[in-house]
Amino acid sequence: MSDPAGQPIAPEERLIAAIAALIAEPCDHPVRHAAVGAASPIPAAACMLRQHEGHAMRLSLLQSRRANPFTEGGRELFDLAGQGRIDLFFLGGGQIDGAANINLVGTGTYPQVEARFPGSFGSAYMYFAVPRTILFREEHSRRVLVEKVDFISAPGTSPANVWRRGTPQALVTGRCVFDFVASRARFVLRSLHPGVSAADIVRETGFGFDIPADVPVTPEPTPAQLALLRGPVRAAMEVNYPDFCGRVWGRRAA
Amino acid sequence: MSDPAGQPIAPEERLIAAIAALIAEPCDHPVRHAAVGAASPIPAAACMLRQHEGHAMRLSLLQSRRANPFTEGGRELFDLAGQGRIDLFFLGGGQIDGAANINLVGTGTYPQVEARFPGSFGSAYMYFAVPRTILFREEHSRRVLVEKVDFISAPGTSPANVWRRGTPQALVTGRCVFDFVASRARFVLRSLHPGVSAADIVRETGFGFDIPADVPVTPEPTPAQLALLRGPVRAAMEVNYPDFCGRVWGRRAA
Amino acid sequence: MSSDFALVSVDELVARIPDGAVLAMPPDYSLSPAAAVRALIRRGAARLSLLGVPISGYCADLLIGAGAVGAITTSAVSLGEYGLAPRFTAAVKAGTIKVDDATCPCVHTALQAAEKGVPFMPLRGVIGSDLLRHRPDWKVVDNPFGNDDPILLVPAISPDYALFHAPMVDRAGNVWVGRRREVATLAHAARTVLVTAERLYDGTMLEDERLAPGCIGAVYINAAALAPKGAWPLGCLDLYDPDEAHLALYARAARDETGFRGYLDAHVLGAA
Amino acid sequence: MSSDFALVSVDELVARIPDGAVLAMPPDYSLSPAAAVRALIRRGAARLSLLGVPISGYCADLLIGAGAVGAITTSAVSLGEYGLAPRFTAAVKAGTIKVDDATCPCVHTALQAAEKGVPFMPLRGVIGSDLLRHRPDWKVVDNPFGNDDPILLVPAISPDYALFHAPMVDRAGNVWVGRRREVATLAHAARTVLVTAERLYDGTMLEDERLAPGCIGAVYINAAALAPKGAWPLGCLDLYDPDEAHLALYARAARDETGFRGYLDAHVLGAA
C-alpha cells in the first residue's frame, strides 16, 4: 500500500469524517449496530471508520454479496429494526423538507407525478423503528431541499401518541451539516464545509432553518483518519463498493 | 418378503382399514394432503394404504426423523393448515364428548385438575383450519367418551360467524366407527367392529348418539389391503414407527 | 407419494400465467427470474399486475416496457447502481400503468399474513406517511393491547402467481433458495408457484440436513423449468455475479422507446 | 466488526440465567439443551418461568422435578412415546407450579409478534376453546377487514432467556440450527440467547451460501458453550438419535419422588 500522506483530501473523505463525527456524538441511543444500504458507500465508510477508531459497533451492509448477515430473507432487516436491534440507519430523499419529511416517490401531485423517483423502499418504517437516522444527500439545492415535500414517504416527526423510537439526528449534504431539533421539527446549521458560507446555504436551501451566531467549519478528517480511510477502510470497502473506491482513491495497482 | 396370506387379521389392521375407508369417502373436501402426528401409527398407515391403493395424496409425517417435509420449523405445519394446504388431520383426546369437543388438558375443574393430560398441543387451531378431522381413540370407555368434557381444548362445532374450514368427520375407536353430523353436533353409529353389539357401545359410551336401524359390521381389510399393509406400507412405516411394526407385524428377520 | 409437481420447459412454465394475473417476483438481488420474464414477453403476456417483493427492478422494467403490465404494487422500481428504471418512469409519466406504492415491510407483512392464513397483520411505523392516504386497503386501528396507540393493519396478499429463479430443484419438486427466504414466504403465500432452476439435483434435498434449511418444500411448488443462467443478466447467489456491462447497456438503451425496442429485438424476442 | 458474543463454559453459560427468569426452550425433538439444563439444576436454579416452544418434554420435567420451576407456559408437557411427563404431572397435582396452557400456534405467533416488533398478531381458530377463558392476556376482536368475524389476537412474548442446543457455532457467534427454524424465531424474540453447541466451526458460516440458510446470525446470540452430545439423552438432528433406553429409564424412575431423586443423583448432580 502506498503512503497516503500528501494526497489531497477528497470531498467524499470530508463527508465520511462528518458522518463519523455524528455517529460518535453522545446520545441517548449509543450506536451499537448500524445498517447501511447497498447504494450508500459514504455512510458505510463512516461506520467502518468509527469501527477502526475503536467504536464497538456492528455494521450490517444490506444486500452485501459476501457474508450477508441476513439468513431470514428480506424481512430480517425490518424485523431486526422492529426488535430494537438497529440503532442507526441512513436515509436520503428526492426531496427533503424543513421538518425532515422525506419524499422518495415523486414531485407534483401524486399519483400524477411530474418526476417519478423509485419509491419509498423501507423508509416509512425504518424512520420510526430506528432510534437514530442520519439523512444524507450530496446534492444541496432548492430542487432537493424544499419547504414542503410533495409526497411524504416518511415523516420527520410524529404526534406524541404515535409509536416511534427516534427521529432524524442530522442532515449531511455536500455543502454543510444540519442538526435536527425534533421538538421544534426544525434544522439548525451545525457546520459549513470548507469554502461554503452561511449565505450560500440560505441561497441554496428551500426550507427555513436556524443559524447560530457562530457556525464552525466542518472539521477536516485528521491525518489518522485519512490513514485509516485510505488503508483498512478502503480495503474493506472494495468488496461491495469497487466503483466508489476506484473513483475516490484511485484504481488499485494489479 | 414372506407370503402374508393365512396370518390372522390384527385389530390394528382393522382400524387402519376403517380409517382408510373414511379417507376414501366422497366429500366436499377431497383429501389431497394429510398430516399425521408422530404418535399416530394407525392413521399414518391408513394414509399410506390409501396411497398404495392409488389415492393421489400427499402425506406429511410430523416430526419425521428422515426427510421431514418442513423447513420453516415448528410453525410450518400450522401455517400450511392456515393456508388451506392440509385437508385431513387426526386428533384424539383424554376425553371426547358427544358434541365432538375434545379435552387434552385434564379432568376435574381446571386449573385444579384431578388427572392432568399433557396439554392441548395444536388442537385448538387444527380443528378449525383443516377441513376434515378424523377423531381416533382406541380406548372405548365411559372414562374417555363422556357426555361433556371437563375442559374444551378444541370445540367440535362453532357458531356460524366463527371462521372454521371444517368439522370432525368421524370417530374411530377400538369398538366401532361413529359418523359426526355437524349440523346436529351429534354422533351416529356407522359400523361395529366384529364381535361388538350396539348394546355394547351404548353401555361403554358416556355420550348419547344415534343408532340407525341397521348398523353394519366394520368391513374387514381385503386380501389386497392386507398384502399392501404387510408389504409396502410396513416397509415405509419402519423408519418412524419401528415399535408399532414389530408389535403388529412381528420383528423382521435380521 | 404423489404430487401435482411438473418439470416443464420455460415456455410451458410461463404459458401457465394468464393475461391479467397478479404476478409476484423477487427483486434484482434475489433470485430474479429473468429468463422466464423474457419468455413471458415472447408469449405476449398482457395486463399483468406485478407485485414487487418488496421492490422491483430489471425484470419489472422489461415487462413494463414490453407493454405486458397494467398495474404494479411495489416499494420501489429501480435499476440500483444503474439508475432509475427507465420504462417504469416513462410509463408512469404516460399514465399507462397504475402504481400502488408500498413500503418494503408492508409487502413482507402482507405475505406473512397470507402465509399464516390470517386476514391481516399489524406493523409499526408508516403512520403519517402519504402512502397511507393512497392505500385505502390499509387500516389504522387503536392497539387493543395499548392505550391511545394507533397501529397499522396490513391485509394479507395471496398473489395468483409467484415466479422466481433458484439454484436447484429436485424431481420431487423441492426447490433450494438458500438464505433468500423472502421467496419462501412468497411461495407459501402464493396460489401457484412457478420456478426456473439452474440445475436438477439428483436426489431428495429434504433428506439432507445440510440442504433442507435452504429449501422450499415441494408442497408449495406447482412447476419448474430448468434454465441455466436463468437469472442473467442478474446474478444468482454465489453461482454468478450480475453482468454489469449488460445492465449498463440496458439502462442506456431503455432511456427511450426506440432504444428499448432495439434491446428487446436483440436480447428478448430474438433469443429462444 | 465487534460483538458482545462470548464463548464460555456450560456452567458459565447457565450462570447468566438468574432465578425467576422467563426461560424459553424448544421441545424434545428440536435441539433441546439437556446438558445446560443439568448444569442449571446443579447450580440450584429456582423459580424459573418456563416457556415451551411450543411444547415441553424431558428438560422441563427434569427442571420441575428438581424444584427449579415456579410456572410454565406451554402447549403440552409430554415424554412422547415414553408417556406422561411424571414430575410435571405430580407438580400440577401438588399445586406447586402454575400452568398457563397454550396451543402450539399461539406460542409460535406470540414469538413471531416479538420477532416483528409488533404488540400482537392475529391467529385463526381457538375461539370456543376453554384455553381462551383462562388466558386473559389473549383478546378476541372483530376482524377490521371482515364483517361479524371474531378473531383472536395473541400478545407478543419476548422471553428473558432462550436456551437451546445447536450442531455448530463459529467464533463470530453465528449458530447453525438447520431446518429447526423455531429456535431462530425464538432467538429473534428473546432478550438474551444462550446456546450450547456440538462443535466449533472453524470459519465464518455466513460466508458459505450452503451453511448460511441454516444459521442464526451472531447479532442475536449472547453466549455459547461447547457441549458435545449436549442434547443427550435427546437426539440432535442427524448427528445422533435419542437414547431410547435412557429415556425409558427416566420415565420409569421419575414416577415417584424417590426414583426421581435417584435419577438426579446418578445422572445430573453426579455428572460434571
Residue B168 sits in a domain whose CATH number is 3.40.1080.10
What's the farthest any 2 CA atoms get from each other in chain B? 57
Q: Please, is C231 exposed, middle or buried when counting C-beta atoms within 10 Å of its C-beta (0-12, 13-18, 19+)?
A: buried
pLDDT at D174: 97
Over the stretch C87-99, which tens digit does the pLDDT of each residue have?
A: 999 999 999 999 9
Mutation target vs D (from C30, C107, C121; most D CBs, 10 A cutoff): C121
pLDDT at C16: 98
pLDDT at C1: 36
Which among D153, D209, D237 is the nearest to C209, CB-wise? Answer: D237
- Is residue B29 scored above 70 in pLDDT? yes
Q: Which residues of D touch B239 (CB under 8 A)?
A: none
- Is residue D184 scored above 80 in pLDDT? yes
Q: Which residues of D touch B154 (CB under 8 A)?
A: 128-129
Neighbours of chain B (3+ CB pairs under 8 A): C, D
- State the average pLDDT for chain B: 93
User: Residues B165-185: what's their mean pLDDT?
Assistant: 96
User: Residues C109-131: what's their mean pLDDT?
Assistant: 98
Q: Look at A68-72, B52-56, D128-132, D202-206 and tell me which has the smallest mean pLDDT.
A: A68-72
- Beta strands at D139-142 and D150-155: parallel, antiparallel or unpaired: antiparallel
Q: Look at B43-52, B241-250, D162-171 and tell me which has the smallest mean pLDDT.
A: B241-250
User: Residues D127-146: what's their mean pLDDT?
Assistant: 97
Q: Which residue of D has its CA nearest to A81?
A: D117
Regarding predicted confidence, which is higher, C270 or A215?
A215
pLDDT at B39: 78
Position C254 confidence tier, pLDDT thresholds 50, 70, 90: very high
Position A250 confidence tier, pLDDT thresholds 50, 70, 90: confident
CA distance D119 to C123: 9
Over the stretch B65-104, which tens digit does the pLDDT of each residue have?
A: 666 778 888 999 999 999 999 999 999 999 999 999 999 9
Q: Which residues of D touch C120 (CB under 8 A)?
A: 122, 143-145
Listed in sequence order, the residues at least 6 apart from B10 whose beta carbon sits closer than 8 Å to its beta carbon are: B248, B249
pLDDT at A66: 65
pLDDT at D1: 36
- Is residue A1 scored above 50 in pLDDT? no
D6-105+157-269 topology per CATH = Glutaconate Coenzyme A-transferase (3.40.1080)
B4 in a structural domain: no
Q: Which residues of D touch C212 (CB under 8 A)?
A: 178-179
For residues C222 and C194, the answer to whether their CB atoms sit within 8 Å is yes
Amino acid code (one letter) for D135: R
pLDDT at A240: 83
Listed in sequence order, the residues at least 6 apart from C83 whose beta carbon sits closer than 8 Å to its beta carbon are: C251
Over the stretch A160-197, which tens digit does the pLDDT of each residue have?
A: 999 999 889 999 999 999 999 999 999 999 999 999 99
User: Residues B227-252: what's their mean pLDDT?
Assistant: 90
- Is residue A249 scored above 80 in pLDDT? yes
Q: Which residue has 372454521 as its cell numbers?
A: B164
Counting residues of chain D whose pLDDT is more than 70, the rounded percentage is 98
pLDDT at B254: 45
B126 in a structural domain: yes
Number of Cβ atoms within 10 Å of the Cβ of C3: 17
How many B×D Cβ pairs under 8 Å? 142
Over the stretch C224-238, which tens digit does the pLDDT of each residue have?
A: 999 999 999 999 999
Omega of the bond leading into B43 within 30 degrees of 0 (cis): no
Over the stretch B124-164, which tens digit does the pLDDT of each residue have?
A: 999 999 999 999 999 999 999 999 999 999 999 999 999 99
Position A26 confidence tier, pLDDT thresholds 50, 70, 90: confident
Q: Which residue of D has its CA nearest to C178?
A: D213
Q: Do D179 and B70 make contact, defined as CB atoms within 8 angstroms?
A: yes
CA distance D37 to D13: 11
Distance from the Cα of C96 to chain A's closest Cα (Å) equals: 11
Q: CB distance from D180 to chain A under 8 Å? A: no
Number of Cβ atoms within 10 Å of the Cβ of B232: 15
pLDDT at D271: 61
Residue range of the domain that includes A103: 11-249
Q: How many residues does chain A have?
A: 254
Q: Which residue of C has its CA nearest to D108?
A: C116
pLDDT at A62: 85
How many B×C Cβ pairs under 8 Å? 51
pLDDT at D212: 95
Q: Is C38 helix (H, G, I), strand (E, B) or coil?
A: helix
Amino acid code (one letter) for B93: G
User: Residues C136-144: what's their mean pLDDT?
Assistant: 97
A198 in a structural domain: yes
Which among C3, C204, C217 is the nearest to B70, CB-wise? Answer: C217
Query: How many structural domains is chain A composed of?
Result: 1
Which among C29, C123, C130 is the nearest to A63, CB-wise? Answer: C29
Q: Do A129 and D184 make contact, defined as CB atoms within 8 angstroms?
A: no
- Is residue A253 scored above 60 in pLDDT? no
Q: Which residues of C touch D117 (CB under 8 A)?
A: 124
pLDDT at D86: 98
Which among C2, C216, C219 is the nearest to B85, CB-wise? Answer: C219
- State the average pLDDT for chain C: 96
Counting residues of chain B whose pLDDT is more than 70, the rounded percentage is 96
- State the average pLDDT for chain D: 96
pLDDT at A38: 75
pLDDT at A254: 45
- Is residue D2 scored above 70 in pLDDT? no
Position B242 confidence tier, pLDDT thresholds 50, 70, 90: confident
User: Residues B199-221: what's their mean pLDDT?
Assistant: 97
Q: What are the boundaries of each domain within chain D?
A: 6-105+157-269, 120-155
Over the stretch D254-269, which tens digit does the pLDDT of each residue have?
A: 999 999 999 999 999 9
- Chains A and B, touching by 3 or more CB pairs within 8 angstroms: no
B131 in a structural domain: yes
Mutation target vs D (from C30, C112, C115, C120; most D CBs, 10 A cutoff): C120
Distance from the Cα of D6 to chain B's closest Cα (Å) equals: 26
pLDDT at A5: 57
ipTM above 0.90, yes or no: yes
**Comparing C-alpha atoms, which of C21, C84, C12, C73 is closest to residue C42?**
C12
A2 in a structural domain: no
